[in-house]
Amino acid sequence: MRDDAALTLSALSPALEESVSRTQARFELRQARKWPEFREDDANRVINALREGIPLVRQYEIAGFPSRREIGVWKQTNPEFAADLEAAASDRAEELVEQGMEVVKDTARDPGCRKVESEYCKWLAGKLDAKWAPKGGEGSTVNNTQINVAGDVNVSPADAYLQMIGG
């Protein structure tokens, strides 16, 4: 009887080894999906694209860029990467604020167009960096906010948009 048991175990050994190796491989795949490996070159590409003005939401859709999940995990596991992303977004927000100021100073353009474009730059900068976001009482996202653009003309963003498109 013992010989039969030993024979059965030796016959099962390759099947058991294969099962164990498959289980281990599945575990490793699950771990790799759960905690994707940090790739320095991809991380730098994400940061540079953000500095150039491609928001993260658009980068997720571009082939060859890391997924939303990968970037989220990288931010959690690599504080340096998270800080670099934050700095890139802040730099881009400051560029947008400067662009908005240049638009406001351009007196050759229609006041309504200038207002809409500067408000857009300000809004986008606020999305990238909380420092530029409107405070509680500012209400710059409300349609009837009056902002003096040309010194003598007050228009709401809705009216400015209508003037811009010729409506």
What are 83-99's pLDDT values in tens digits? 999 999 999 999 988 99
Query: What pLDDT, on a 0 to 100 scale, did the predictor assign at position 141?
Result: 45
Report field, pTM of the whole predicted structure over 0.75: no
Q: C-alpha distances in angstroms, 135 versus 68, 119, 130, 164?
A: 29, 14, 10, 27
Average pLDDT over residues 69-78: 88
Pair type for strands 154-155 and 147-148: antiparallel
Cβ atoms of 121 and 100 closer than 8 Å: yes
pLDDT digits over 4-55, tens only? Answer: 555 555 556 777 778 778 888 787 777 766 767 888 888 999 999 998 888 8
Query: What pLDDT, on a 0 to 100 scale, did the predictor assign at position 6?
Result: 52
